[in-house]
Amino acid sequence: MSSKDIILFEDSVPLTSSGLYHSEDRLFPPVPDSCELTVECRRDDFSASLIARAVEDAEAHLLNMNVTSRPASAGNVSVDIRVSHRNGGSVARSLERYGFEVISIRGGMDRDLDTTRSRIGELMAHIDV
Give the tens place of pLDDT for each residue, 85-109.
888 889 999 999 999 999 998 876 5
In this prediction, residue 10 carries a pLDDT of 47
pLDDT at 129: 61
Report d(CA 109, CA 121) in Å as an integer: 18
Please provide the distance, in angstroms rounded to a whole number, between the alpha carbons at the two ends of the chain.
56
The secondary structure of residue 44, as a DSSP letter, is G
3-state secondary structure of 46: coil
pLDDT, averaged per 10 consecutive residues of the chain (129 residues), comes to: 48 51 66 88 92 95 88 84 89 94 79 69 81
> CA 57, CA 96: separation in Å to the nearest integer?
12
Q: Residue 31 — φ and ψ, nearest 5°?
A: -135, 125
pTM over 0.75: no
